[in-house]
Amino acid sequence: MKNLIRLTFCLLVLTTRYCTGQEAIIKTNHPDGWLIRTHSSSYQMIITASGELKSVYYGPKVTDARKNDAWVTTVDEIPVRGGSAFNTSALEAVFDDGCRDLDLEYVSGNVETIDNHPVLEVIQKDRYYPLQVTSFIKVYPANDILEKWIEVKNTGSRGNIKIENLLSGSIVLPTNQYDLTQLSGKPMNEFQIYNGLLTPGIKIIQNKTFKSNFNPPWFAVHPAGTSGNSGPVWIGSLHYSGNWVLKFDQAFGGRLQILGGINFWDTDIMLKPGDSFTSPVLTSGFTTKGLDGAAQNLSAYIRKDILPETHRNDLRPVIFNSYYADGLNVNEKVLEKQAKSAAALGIELFVIDDGWFKGRDNGNDGLGDWIVDSTKFPHGLTPLIREVNRLGMRFGLWVEPENVDVNSDLYRTHPDWVLGFPHRQGNPYRRILNLAKPEVFHYLLSSLTRLLQENNIAFVKWDQNNFLSDPGWPDAPPDERREVRIKYIQNLYRLVDSLKGRFPKVWFESCSSGGGRIDLGMMSRMDMAWVSDNTYALNRIFIQYGYLSCMPANTMVSFVVDKIGNYYRQPTSLNFRFNVAMSGILGISTDMDKWTLTEKELAKKKISEYKLIRPLVQQGTLYRLVSPFETNRCALQFTGNHTDSTVVLCYNMAAYLQGSQVVIRGSSLLRLRGLQPDAQYSLKNLDDSDDKGRMFTGDELMNVGIEWPVREAYNSKILLLEKLKR
Ligand code: DGJ
């Protein structure tokens, strides 16, 4: 009886549930702490008797708070520099008296709702010094996503606190051996997939060139030796577009701690009394459905909760972009002609890339003066825009606001507006404007506002083609100079946000010498991204496959071009180039008037085919069926979330030699996923108008598969499946 009373009492006091329907965040009393649950994951932290907040579990769903001996070895929820240095710290500070040792204790925890999502907010403070540390975890139960960020505040009335490191959060995985999958690359070769064992020690992936930079701040970690469609995977993606760092601290005993945030290399922040600083968000996710399941969850979350709300649910338009058609030689006459051809093919957005502004006769001049070139456009942009609109298209423009060419009026007038050190030369042609300076911010806001006010611009391609080599800010107070990288990014975000506030309907595209600045910080502001300047369709298959690990297809701009560079590349057919570009946001960037009549007819047909499959590609669930990194083929399946349609895009990078496993590497069958097993599907080749379609059941397509449909090298097929109504 005594036991029964005790059990009833325990059940009553064990949990206080803070629910938004899903019981996502639970306050536990035995042990004292918090249990966070998503659809298939749990995250648990406890408050020890001595007031330390420990992270004790992150992985497959557990039903309730559990006692576990492994807790003895757990890591602080916010690991700090201080005490014994067994873990990697997320926070390092120096107090006014020179003390570099932090000692946090739990103060309070609270659950609130932000944007309809439950958020756990936990306050800790240093046991002696006036530093308050608030950590946040926002929960997205349906997509198995947690967002973490940290705010530090100097609560004292005198004395500064120098922050030498503040990451966005730390997660600790169950003891095991793990593989790390990362995306790395360089201009023309972005988003390449790398995979390797995490051995004891710390693996750091990072960027120090001032932008997120050709290796997005994304990772996936999974038990060693696993990959593909099943099994546990933890992912992370940082919302930051400047210097970033991801750290993987694998202890000898198998405990893996992962941290991510701003890279404080050559950076610190001085918190004066009353000042606070908030880290960017680190998204993490857990799934039991392998790398593809992780990518699906991440994509769904990005599309639903991250992309700018203004166009979140809109289908992205078919684009014409002048860059690979005209280079810098754009002018009213040429573009008016191209606009007519573009409209005739079914293009919806007509974009002038580089070359339209004053002084831009070559790639080293004119940046900074955002005034229309009166030789190329004697009547301004208005007549061209009117014509584009009359033809039924929207009009877009390229800008590169953050840079200034030395040969520009802006640089001649304000040489002190650029970043640099007094006795260092820096880039002799192109400099980075010091956006940390209020006057630079205001100049850019007013010149871009004027441009958007004076012209009916529906789309802005925002480029940044520079690395930061000399981050000097000589006229700032000495103790603020090393904040320049962070202040720059804060003002960059403020600039884009202000413009979006003033022109809410305008679409934005992120570009940085190709895919040099694609991260969730940018993608919460930009509707789409230019993924690479490598427009060669075969290379693009790899780049795009990698990109789709971390971003949804409705952000992935892909062009059909004719010029394939001046070094030897195997030419590919126009149909193939279209089929590759059709797996994202389709665009054309070539002089369409040079096409034969047959090519024009093909282009028109492909654009209308794309419009047919566009809702599936842009808004459906992606199953990456065959990886180009593992075979010499690639297959991408997009299944509509609210329709009965599925499309599968299949590409051959080499001839299909039936029976030769050496050459085809991988199965000669194509197996689909995510279909309804007992439903009937009609399957037909979209490129073949005579194809009447064949019937299959869902389980046949998923378990038996169909013969790989493409025969020749550099060839492709688009298969369309319709589920039959019963
Ligand atoms: C780099 C971009 O990646 C290209 O698409 C193009 O916009 C050029 N800049 C223009 O200078």
Strands (E), 348-413: 349-352, 394-399, 403-405
Question: pLDDT at position 72, please?
Answer: 53
Q: What's the whole-number mean pLDDT along residues 618-635?
A: 94
What does the mean pLDDT of the chain come to?
92
> How far is ligand 1, taken at its centre, from the CA of residue 343, in Å?
23
- Whether residue 137 is contained in a domain is answered as yes
The residue contributing the CA closest to ligand 1 atom 1 is: 513
- CB of 589 within 6 A of ligand 1: the answer is no
Q: Which domain holds residue 702?
A: 633-723
Q: Is the dihedral of CA 590, 594, 595, 597 positive or negative?
A: positive
Q: Establish whether residue 353 lines the binding site of ligand 1, counting it when its CB lies within 6 angstroms of any ligand atom.
A: yes
CA separation for the pair 439, 697 (Å, rounded): 64
Distance 514 CA to ligand 1 centre (A): 7
DSSP for residue 422 = T
8-state DSSP, 686: T
Asked, for residue 289, whether it belongs to a domain, the answer is: yes
Average pLDDT over residues 338-360: 98
Asked whether residue 41 is assigned to any structural domain, the reply reads yes
The pLDDT value recorded for residue 661 is: 46
Three-state DSSP class for residue 688 = coil
Point out the domain boundary residue: 306, 341, 367: 306
Mutation pick for ligand 1 pocket among 399, 462, 465 (CB with most ligand atoms within 8 Å): 465
Report whether pLDDT(12) > 70: no
Nearest ligand 1 atom to the CA of 532 is 3
**Residue nearest to ligand 1 atom 2, measured at CA:** 513
Helix (H, G, I), strand (E, B) or coil at 40: coil
Evaluate: CB of 464 within 6 angstroms of ligand 1. no
> Cα(579) to centroid of ligand 1, in Å?
23
* pLDDT for 211: 79
Please tell me the pTM assigned to this model.
0.95
Residue 667 pLDDT > 80: no
Find the range with the poorest average confidence among 189-198, 265-274, 424-433, 606-615: 424-433
Please tell me if the CB atom of residue 285 comes closer than 6 angstroms to any atom of ligand 1: no
Predicted confidence (pLDDT) at residue 511 exceeds the cutoff of 60 = yes
Last residue of a domain, one of 306, 336, 370: 306
Task: Write the CATH number for 23.
Answer: 2.70.98.60
Q: Where are the beta strands (DSSP E) in 366-482?
A: 394-399, 403-405, 430-432, 459-462
Model confidence pLDDT, tens digit, residues 434-471:
999 999 999 999 999 999 999 999 999 999 999 877 89
pLDDT band at 643 (very low <50, low <70, confident <90, very high): confident
Ligand 1 centroid, distance to 463 Cα (angstroms):
7
Percent of residues in the chain assigned helix, strand, coil, to nearest 5: 25, 35, 40
Report which ligand 1 atom has the smallest distance to the Cα of 398.
7
Task: Report whether residue 242 contacts ligand 1, using a CB cutoff of 6 Å.
Answer: no
Q: Which atom of ligand 1 is nearest to the CA of 353?
A: 7
Query: Which residues lie closer than 8 Å to 87 by C-beta, 6 or more apart?
Result: 75, 76, 79, 170, 249, 257
What total number of domains does the chain contain? 2
Q: How many whole angstroms from 608 Cα to the centroid of ligand 1?
A: 27
Of 306, 322, 356, which residue is a domain's last? 306
Amino acid in the structure at residue 325 = A
513 CB under 6 A from ligand 1? yes
Shortest-distance atom of ligand 1 to CA 461: 7
Residue 261 domain-assigned (yes or no): yes
Residue 681, domain member (yes or no): yes
Look at ligand 1, atom 9, and give the residue with the nearest C-alpha.
513
Q: Is residue 678 pLDDT above 60, yes or no?
A: yes
* Ligand 1 centre distance from Cα of residue 513 (Å): 6
Is 530 a pocket residue for ligand 1 (Cβ < 6 Å)? yes
User: Which pLDDT band, with edges at 50, 70 and 90, does 13 fall under?
Assistant: very low
To 5 degrees, how large is the angle CA 230–CA 235–CA 239? 150
> Do 541 and 347 contact (CB within 8 A), yes or no?
no
Q: Is 502 within a domain?
A: no
Closest protein CA for atom 10 of ligand 1: 354
Q: Is residue 19 part of a domain?
A: yes
Ligand 1 binding pocket includes 558 (Cβ within 6 Å): no
Q: Is the CB of 398 under 6 A from ligand 1?
A: yes
Most informative mutation of 513, 517, 585, 589 for ligand 1 (most atoms within 8 A of CB):
513
CA 544–ligand 1 middle distance (angstroms): 18
Helix (H, G, I), strand (E, B) or coil at 65: coil
DSSP 229-245: TSB-EEEEEE--SSSEE
Average pLDDT over residues 122-150: 98
Q: Domain holding 694: CATH number?
A: 2.60.40.1180
pLDDT score for 664: 46
Question: What is the whole-number distance in angstroms between the Cα of residue 247 and the centre of ligand 1?
Answer: 32
Report whether residue 465 contacts ligand 1, using a CB cutoff of 6 Å. Answer: yes
Q: How confident is the model at residue 10 (pLDDT cuts 50, 70, 90)?
A: very low
Residue 73 predicted with pLDDT over 80: no
CA of 530 to the centre of ligand 1 (A): 9
Per-residue pLDDT at 666: 58
- Inside any domain, residue 12: yes
Separation in Å, CA 546 to CA 192, 218, 300, 360, 646? 6, 11, 17, 34, 21
